[in-house]
Each structure stands twice: as structure tokens, then as C-alpha cells.
Structure 1
């Protein structure tokens, strides 16, 4: 600008002559020097004025532009855009500088408007990462800090694959590569990413290819932490598919694996085998040691069974005391019996439970795809049927499923279905076996024994349906009906003075445990009019393995009615002298297993002699069961047994043939005819009337 003023001073003298300045003055050196000086001064003043006014405003604009440029450059590297803007420039003119200032302020407005969306990205819970096609990180949001613990800047330039768990790296790499090749955006399966503290977090990542977007120019990974959800899913899966006590697979998971094994056998012919295991004495342990003791036993049993299996085999707990084992592979059929024997051997060793040694017996049913396929039923059902056979034929053993087992099981199910209708159709009848005073050979009482007159099968032996009644729960309504019918018949035989033969009725453990037993007895006595002392309830020693406090209370309630209590099959169950002292027992019935050997076996004779002495000391009535020969009868009389029953003395018979006035002698027996006071009639069997056939009960069903 100073040069421009000097140039104007040089050309001004000729220009001055045109303005009327005399030439002699314009040509003078002094005039020319004055023009040059004036031009210099004007140029210098103009430069100074422009630098002061315009330059200052431009300097402010330049400073703001540099600040914004540095902030944007830093935000692009770190992801932190909070320092990317600047203060506005004051617009104090409407010239080009004012317009420039306005344009700058508009740029800042646009940046701050974008800051709203950048703030959303910065504070999003999802981690947003931009990588190049090879996986190198070019941009990272701050959220990576609270998700994975890394400062955002430390990941720039690193390989994203380095964060992925080695077991998941291939899946993640394949997903990224497929998007790079042009596949649509996808969400990856859950993969684990390394946290800064060394732990692994479960994540899900959505991959988008935004290389054509000039604002991004990269592959965008949106990663979400799903560790909490994954943990909850695992907890729910554990609750749904695993037993909380033993940690074993439950029935649902076992059935899932069993279906897979059956499908594999169908598709490839690979055989499989199933062992169905049932504990024989869990209830007794629960009753004696409590449910904590039972749980401890189950845990030990699970561990011992598992120790007998291969790593690939499946052991599951199906229900309270039921386990199942699934064996797969070409040799599973041959291996299954050996596995069963190892399990039985492992559980023969006593188990320490609550400071007591307990033996955990098992019954095992074994089925293979070959044997189950012949019968057209599933493996588990076949093994269950075989287990039932093992349990009902001795327990503590393994039974291999056979097609005949299935046929027997179907017949048993049909019989059980008919049993539900037996009460309503009045198909059950009572037969009465005399109880005899051995010295005068006089009938003093009867034991009521249930029989089933099936409409198509004929007379069904009690051994075939009593167990079904126990298993189904029908034992309670059947037992209630027997109690009513027996007391009604005894009342019909009762004499005018209230005397007459006593009536003995068996009560099963399940019927005894039913809360209505005392009310049922009370109602039967009331409805029949039978004197309470004429009724005897027979219980078994197995009852004493149950809750002794509740047992004592119920026995005392029954005794308060005035009836008698008999201990049946004495000497074969939980025999203990303490039971005779603690419980209000009136009668001991000596089991027939001792009676059968009394004439030839000195040990049986000694046992019965001891029982007789015990009965005399405790003032108990003794009844010998199962007397079938004259020799047995004579030996019992010699030992001082007062009462007896058995085929030699009288078979069970319908009431019209079992009346106290009838002669009761076994055909072909040398024994004398039995005598008793005459009775006028036999009671007509009453219909069960209102008995619920789906509730449980019965007495002993065979002589």
C-alpha cells in the first residue's frame, strides 16, 4: 500500500499540469519530491489504517478458525467433541468482513447442532467402533470405557480381533469378512470380548459397511454388552434343565437327549441303552433322618452313579428317588449290563448320612433300542417297566427289559383301570377266616379278607390287585369299604348280650396314615352297632418305620374307641421290644414263616417259645398264623399258644359258609370239627354307596 502511494506521487506532477498547475512549478524537483512524500505518507497512513481496522478483525476470525479446526481434529481422533466449537464473532458491519463473520457464526451453529447427535453417540450404552476392512480401529466412542474398560484413544490403530476370545474369533472374523464382501448388515452370535481387567464380557455386534459414506469411510461395529442377559439365560436354563439338589440334568433335559439318541438310531442305526434306577429305601431315610438326611443320601448316590459312567454318558435325576442313565455308541447294548452291575456294587457300600451308616439299595431296569423297538415303545418307558419288575421281584437287582414285560405291564394297567370301577360295580366281596381257641377248638373270631369277583377274569387273587391298590391310592377307599362291611357282618353275628365272635380287619400303612382313619372306624362302629371291643385292627411292624409321634397319637385315639390292636406278621419286620412297650398293642400274630417250621426246626420252635414267653410277660394275646398241619397245631399247643388260624383250622369263606354255627374243617384233615355258638344269619353285603373310587385303601387280601 506504501508503494502504491509512491507510485501516485510519481505520476501526480504531470497530472497536476492538467489540473492547471503551471508547468514550471510542476517540473520543479521540489514539487516532485513533495508529491512523492505526500504519496508515501498517504500510502503509509492507509496501510496503518487497514492493518489496524481490517487486520484486527481478520486476526480474530483466523484465531477462531484455528481453534475450531484444532477441536475438530482432536475430536476426530478421540471421539470427544465437547471442545470442538468456539465463541461467536461479533458482527459490527455489513461489509464483506461482516458477511465473513456471519458465515463463520453459521458454521459454528451447524457444528453445535451436530453436537446433539454426537452427544447421543458419546453417551450411548452401545460401543460404536469404526474399522477398516482389515479390522484396524479408526474411530472409537467413549462408551468403550465403561463397557470394556479401555480409554477410547488407546484402541485407535489396534486390531479389533485382538479383543475377541480365541474360541469366538473365527465366528467374528467371518461375520466382518462377509459384510466387507457386500453382505447385508447382520447381528453376530454372542461372542466374548476381553475386558481391560482380563475378564471376558459377552457381547453382540451389528456390522454395517459405510465405506461409501464420506462422513464415515469405514466399517461400523455397534457392540452391545449382553453379559447380564447371558447370565440370566444360563440361570434360567439351569433351573429349567438341571436338578437343583444334585446338579444333574433333570427329566426335561434327559428327554431332549434321549430323543436325539433315538433319532440317531433311526437315521444311522447307532444303538443306545437306558438304565432306570429307583432307590429302594429313600422314604425310610426321610422318616428316620429327616429330609435333610434324604437329600444328603441322594447327593451321595448321584456321585457314586456318576463315577461308574463314561464322560459322554448322561445321568439325570427324573424325580424324587428316580434316576436314569443314557448310554450311547455302538457298544452301548453290551456295556449296559456291566454298567448296571458297577452301579449296584458301588451302592452296596454303606453311606454315611447324618452320622449314621445307611445302605442305599437300588432297583434297576435296563432297556436297549433293540429290545424296546420289538415292543414298539420308547426306551425310557421300557426301562421303567423293567425297573418295576426288578423292584417287585426282590429289589436290589437289575432286570433287562423283555417284550413279555410290556405285555404284563399292559395287563396290569388294564387290571388297575378295572379296579377303579370295582367298588362302584360291587365286585369286591369279603371272605372270613376263623380264628380259633386251640384248646377247646372253638371259633372266637374271624379275619376279614377281601376278594375280587372280576366280571371276565373270574376270582382275581389278592396278590394281583392289592399291590395295584397300594400303588394307585385305592387302598384307602377299599379299606374303608372293608371296614364297614366287616363290622356290619360282625354285628349280624353279635348275640343279644353283646357277645359274639370278634372281627379282625387289616389296616395298611397307607390307610393308617390317612387322616380320616379314626373317623372311619368311629362311623363304621356307629353304623353297624358293633360293640367296639369286638373289633380288632391289625397293623404291621412296617408302620413303626414311619413318624412314631404321629403313630402313637393315632394308636391311642383308636384305643380310646375301645377297640383292640393286633401286631400282624410279628417277627418279620421292624421287630423291637420297645414297640411293644411304647405302643398300646393287645395281640401278637406270629408270622406263618415260623409256624411252618415249628414241627421240624428247633430254631423256629425256639423263636415261637420266646414269643410265647414274651406275650405272657406283657399280657398279650398270641395268635399263630398259617397252621396247615396237625403236627404244627400240636407243637403250638405244647408251647402254650392259645389261638390260631390257617387252612388246617378253616379256609376263608363267604359269610353264609363262615357263620359261627357252621363246621369248619379242612377237607381230608384229621382235625376235629370246630365248635362255636350258633348265629342266626349272615349280613347282606351293603353297596359301597358314596365311596370315592379314586382315593386309596384295603386290608390284607389273602389268607
Structure 2
């Protein structure tokens, strides 16, 4: 059996989970009666023990063992029951016990799951002797596992936030040439991530990349050209990573990537995309990928990745690199996100069940008042979430001031509260509550639970569980409060812009590529100077539920210029807005034979039938539909096939450099043929060079727009130009 391997002192962000895990295991030992308890997590082919009560089984916190030799593997993979009152009656469990030289009479294994259902770990309880009636205690184990699941998922998410903070700190350890981390930043990140990976049993992958032929470039073109290659490589790497990933220049032309929550297979997929992208801008590199194992740790993964990179470099022997050409930066790679965390009400439900209470709630103090922020209850109450009342004389105020014990098993036996009006009004029989503090120490409010019956078994251990959970609750409160404040601030900004008649519009002509005549204008929204970009405005509006409001305000602003413009007016709109009643009212009042509605690729359409039904009567009156960003992704092609637009707009990524790219030319030609068969006109976006213009015209693309042809201008400029 493997012993302890790669164990590091826990970082500050996991102490809450470790403390709660120990407390819960002790509680389970007392309540359920099994002698040996542990919480472990699978990491590849190994099992990492996150927490254990030291017993004669020899299992200790931090141990690393083969996964296949564990009770947890048998149960979670469906080969054994989660509860075995007599292990001798379950041959596969008995075999594992004998293989590990353990004398086990009973066994209980319960998964610890994240709120989204992912199995994060397992709780395992073992007994030296058979335990008839163990099945009746499985509910207790499941509830404790749920609490642990919330806490562990929260700690994993908190660790993700810490990683992002660390990346900000990395600015103090930046490589002067590239701006990415230097070797010092890499070393710090490796130590920190190793501690997290060892504590949580989470995967992490190392990638090492090295430029090919840099010396030759330096010799033939000078070090300036070599530096350009190094900088371009750094730009491509940072453009494809998540905020929690680390990229560092390890020395010379060698770079390292540290990818938390990433398997070797996922890392390889990312590297393939990076190398392909580098090749398009004239940069050749060799790469090696290796995943951390629980036995050997990140340092060994780095060594393996470095060795594999050099093997790759040998096979690349004569590959040359050239001075990089300018091109658009890549879109970020899509990698697994960190675990989601349950909402506060769900945490309160678990607290209520675990403590055997009927009510659990969070309240916050606001001067002399308190507001019930979250309330869950199995009985009728005279208050609800949002209720505000005086805080003086309440259990919560007295707990926060230290004038009342955090645990009261029998309210009638406590002189300071038994005669309070609130005790009689709510029929409180037992109560437990703890203060809630911001991370900076300021008092926020309290987390409390009560029941109408007495709870003689209620003790300090329950208060300790509540104190541990309160840390999770408070972090969730701060996240939600901050999110709400950002949302309110943004919505106020939207109201202000709309109240002043905005957003304003500029208009970019759409030309015939045959004679350059203007056939239409695309309206582009502009927001107050110094504010986020239009893309950010619309993205936030969609996130905060104000997308249709903002989009239709843009439509109203843009159509004021229609009487002064040549040709049709093209307006950008999302499918979500198309489905709103206000859309039909606003658009229906316009001269639809002069309106084109552009649907973008980036907006997901779940129900094309409903969208088509909404557009059908408007199209019958002359409205034309365009699908934006064709050629940029699969979603736009789904739009085209499902909606059968009147106009297909070729994405700028397809147009850029099309004159020198046969693959792009082939794709554009296929879209021309498709348009001819479906009677859809093609418009090329982002034409910026004469060569692109000539190539598109030779491909029989009928229309186009871009800086080479004309730039967006406000209405006043267009009216002035028209008047001469």
C-alpha cells in the first residue's frame, strides 16, 4: 500500500473545510457508532485522504493509496452496496478488507457531491464488528455528506478566486520583455497549486513550450526579430487561457503553463489549438504535456512535460520559424469551469435538517433595524425574506452582542429569553445562532435556527457546525450582495443613457462590390465616452435581464436617421429580443421594406420554430433577415439553415486575409453557391485592404462593408456629405 506522498501544509483557504470535516467525522463516530471514519477523493488512479480520524486502520489525513484497492471505489462504481451491516456477507468488500489486511465487520460509504451533482469525495465509515441496524443511520451520514459537499465545493471555488488574486500579485514578478510571469512567479504558483491539489485531490496539468529555430532567426534577422517571436508567443498563450491559469517565461524562449482543474487530455487539446494558431502567424514551437499525480506531485509533472517537449523538439529538428505577421488575437479556449456553489437558501435547508430545527434564517443589521435576508421554514411564520423590524430585544441582537449563549436547548430554562414577547409569539422552544462577519471583521448579522420544541441533545458541537457553515454563508452573501450592487449600478447607467436619448448611432455604408454604390447602412451603437465598449454593454445587459430594453432603445435611436439615409437600414437584434412583445410593436411601426434585422451568431436560439413564428408576419410585410458572423462558428450555420435568411453576412475572421488563404476562399465560394440556391445575398464584413476587396469581388460576393470602403459616421456627417 502506498504511504504519504506529496503532502504539503494546508493553505489558509482550506482550513475551514478541514476543521468542519474533522468535526463532522467526530459527530458521525458518536452518532452512528462506527469506529473508523475518513473523507477521501479520487485523483486519477489514486485515492487521496482529505481527512481522517486516526485509528488502528492506519488511514491518516494526506495518505495516498491505490483507488482500485478501496471500499470507496467499489461503492461509487456500483460494485458494492453503500451500507454493509456485515462485510462478510458481501464478498467483494471482504476481499478488499483482506487485501488491505484489515479486519472489518461493517462498512458505510456515501458520496460527497457538489450542488451540481458532481462527486467531489466520499465519506467512509468502518467498524471492527458487524453492526445490525446500520442502515437506519444512513440518513444522518447523507445529510453530513451534503453539508461537506457544499463546503468543499465552496472551498474549491474560493481556491479559484485565490488563484486569480495570485495572478494579479504575479504582476510584481513579470518578465520585462513579454509581460507574463517570470521564473519567480512560476515557482510561487507551483508551490501554491501543489498545496491545493494535494489537499483537494484535484487534477492539474503542466505544459512546457519552446520556440523552434530561434537562434537561427537571431542570427539571420537579428535579435529584434527573435524578441518579436517571443512576444508573439506570449500573446498567443495568454489569449487562450482562463483567469486561473498561469503562464510564465521560464527562460530564453521556453514557456510554462500551469492549468488547474485540467486533465492531461484536456491539456493536449489546448496545446494542439495553441500550436495551430501559432503556425498561422509564422511561429513554430515544440510542446510537452504532463498531468500531476497524487504520488509524485507537480514538480514531477513539470519534469515529464519538459522531457516530452525536448522529444517533440527532436522530431521538429529542421522546422523553421519566420518573423511573425500581424493578426487578430485568438479567442480564449473553452476549458472546464470551477465548481458551482449552492445558493444560501439551499445551505439553510441543510442546516435546518442537520440540526433538527424547523426554521433557519440569515438576517442583517441595518442600524437599529434588522432585515431577514433569507428564510427557510417548515412552519408558518409572521415574517419572510425582506421583512424589516427593530433588532433591539431579539435573540439575534443579543447573540451578536454576546449577551446570549449561541446554543439554547430549552428556552424555558433560560431566564433571559423565556419571557420575551418574541419567544411567545413564535413559540420558540430551542434556538441556536452565531454572528456573521464580513471577511474584514465587520459585523453583518446572524445565522440562526430555531424550533418550537426543545432539543435536549443540542450542544456546542452543533454550534461549531453552524460556525463553520456560517463562513460559507457569509462568503455567498458577499458574492450575492456584490453581484446585486453591480447589477443595480449597471441598470442605473442604462436608465441614464436611455433617459438622455441614447445610445447614439453611427452608420456604416454597405456597398455593391461591383460599382461601390451604397445599398444600405448598418447602425452601430455608441455609448458615453469612457464607458465600457458596446460589446460589454450588451453582454452585461443580457446578464442582468436588460437586453431587450437596451437593444430596443438602440433601435429607436437608429431609426431616427432612416429618412436621411440611402438604401436599407440594418439593425442588430438578439433572438431573445425578437420574442418580446415590444419588439413587434417597435419594428411593426417602421417601413419594413427598408429594414434588415441582423441576428448574431453569439446568441443561442433554443426554439427556432417560435422565432420563425414571430418573424413570419413581419417578413410578409417586407422585413428582411440577415444572419451575422457566417463562417465564424457552428451556431451561425444553424441559424442559416433554420431561419433561411435573406442576407448572409460573412464574418470578419473569414474576410481577413482571404486573398492569400485558399481555405477561406473555398469556404466563401461554398457560401456563394449556397446563397445562390437559397436566394440569399452575401455581404462581406471587415474589408480592410484592396487585395481583400478584389478577391471578394472575384468570388462573386455581391456586397461588402469595411474601412477600405467607408467608415462608420454619425448621421450629421452623412447629412452634411449629402448636401455637398
TM range (shorter): 0.3 to 0.5
| Higher gyration radius (CA) | 1
Q: TM-score, normalised by structure 2?
A: 0.38
